[in-house]
Amino acid sequence: MSELPEAPFKNPRADHGFKGRTCSIESVGSYVPEKVLTNADLEKIVDTTDEWITSRTGIKERRIAADDEATSDLGAKASLMAMERAGISPDEIDLVICATITPDMPFPSTACLIQEKIGAHGAAAFDLEAACSGFIYGIEIAQQFIMSRTYNCVLVVGAEKLSSIIDWKDRNTCVLFGDGAGAVIMRNRDGAHGLLTAKMGADGRKANILSMPGGGSLNPASTDSINSRLHYLRMDGKEVYKNAVTAMCRSAKEVLKRCELSAEDIKLVIPHQANKRIIDAVGDRLGAKPEQVYMNLQKYGNTSAASVAIALDEAVSEGHIQRGDLILIMVFGAGLTWGAAVIEW
Ligand code: UT7
């Protein structure tokens, strides 16, 4: 076992009995469906304009999965890309975690369906539901399994077919979301730092401001639930907006503090891609320069649990991040849930 290299920053995990066991994010991959739905296309579906969508959200287009393409198909494609980049064979994966609010079906889990599609037959598999915050919840859980020596190699997937729960008659929500998937391979590796620290938060008192009320045990599918449009995503956009800015800033500040870092130490900030105005406000409050903040929501809209993973993949592919750079990621979503994490890439 080689010694950990001297880090230029404080690794909070090193103080908590994890010395000698380190975990790296080996690779990232992503997949978005081929079909593009532009703002101009939406103008033909609901009473909206490209000008309104662009100025209020920054979104120009989003991807829509084919009818026969399920969340597990998107997730499997992103996973296979991450596995190839990490040089990992399916039998090396110990655990598959899929973060999603649009599972293929209530059960079995989408993680099990992805496990089968990528051939990781020896892996345990489960879904986690933290809405748009799912990717940070997922990598933190993966890290804990690796640090505790339960598993060596974990696949974390954020995958969504949000087009399947969008009310295409509701202009308040249908312009905001898109489909896609991102995945990372996390693995025990000597000398790697990977996920330095993560903060996860939740506030169930605000569960009602963003939800899909139908289809669960409270409102099982019925003619009534369908007629009342309970099987679609509902959101109080203004309330979500306010809470998103506050919670992402607060958790980002906390993880930076834990690592004794400030915004200028961070190479790239990758926030949840929901709204350009939210991202600008959070970047400003953290004191990050605009060029430090990554944004690709103009191409994909809000892809919930997949959002930060897709953005991470594109930021790496476009050369914005090199190995050893520090990244700050932040998420926010239904629950309410939120989180922030510092990663040494
Ligand atoms: O992943 C986490 C989940 N979601 C989010 O993070 C979203 C957070 N919220 C937001 O991004 C913003 O609140 C929205 C983009 C959803 C809305 O922006 P806003 O500046 O808060 O607009 P608003 O809700 O105040 O709506 C302003 C007006 C309303 O008209 P009236 O009542 O003022 O006459 C809406 O009916 O804009 C109207 N409107 C639209 N007009 C054209 C709402 N949607 C549209 C639309 N096209 N698509």
User: 30-48 as b/e, with b when 16 or more CB fall inside 10 Å?
Assistant: bbbbeeebebeebbeeeeb
Amino acid at 254: E
| Pairwise pLDDT comparison (24 vs 189), residue with the higher score | 24
Q: What is the pLDDT of residues 204-254, one digit of tens each?
A: 999 999 999 999 999 999 999 999 999 999 999 999 999 999 999 999 999
CATH 3.40.47.10 residue ranges for the chain: 12-192, 196-344
Name the residue with the closest Cα to ligand 1, atom 29: 172
Residue 233, preceding peptide bond in cis (omega within 30° of 0): no
Q: What is the mean pLDDT of the chain?
A: 93
Atom of ligand 1 minimally distant from the CA of 244: 6
Q: What is the pLDDT of residues 37-90, one digit of tens each?
A: 999 999 999 999 999 999 999 999 999 999 999 999 999 999 999 999 999 999
Q: What is the pLDDT of residues 245-274, one digit of tens each?
A: 999 999 999 999 999 999 999 999 999 999
Is-contact 235 174, C-beta < 8 A?
no
Topology, domain 12-192: Peroxisomal Thiolase; Chain A, domain 1 (3.40.47)
Least confident of 19-23, 298-302, 310-314: 19-23
pLDDT confidence of residue 1: 40
Residue 336 CB–ligand 1 contact under 6 Å = no
Note if 231 is an active site residue. Answer: no
Note if 132 is an active site residue. Answer: yes
Note if 193 is an active site residue. Answer: no
pLDDT > 70 in the chain, percent:
94
Whether the pLDDT of residue 157 is over 80: the answer is yes
Residue 276 burial class via C-beta count within 10 angstroms: exposed 0-12, middle 13-18, buried 19 and up: middle
Residue 302 CB–ligand 1 contact under 6 Å = yes
Query: Which tokens hold the place of 124?
Result: 């345990």
Residue of 241, 277, 278, 336 with the most ligand 1 atoms within 8 Å of its CB, for mutation: 241
State the distance between the two ends of the chain, measured CA to CA, in whole angstroms.
21
pTM: 0.94
Residue 244 CB–ligand 1 contact under 6 Å = yes
Whether the pLDDT of residue 17 is over 50: the answer is no
Topology, domain 196-344: Peroxisomal Thiolase; Chain A, domain 1 (3.40.47)
Centroid of ligand 1 to alpha carbon of 172 (angstroms):
6
Q: Would you list the DSSP string of 68-101? A: T--HHHHHHHHHHHHHHHHT--GGG--EEEEE-S
Residue 171 CB–ligand 1 contact under 6 Å = yes
Atom of ligand 1 minimally distant from the CA of 304: 1
Name the residue with the closest Cα to ligand 1, atom 17: 237
pLDDT confidence of residue 23: 81
- Give the closest residue to 115 by CA, choosing from 75, 160, 68: 75
Would you place residue 21 in the very low, low, confident or very high pLDDT band (cuts 50, 70, 90)?
low
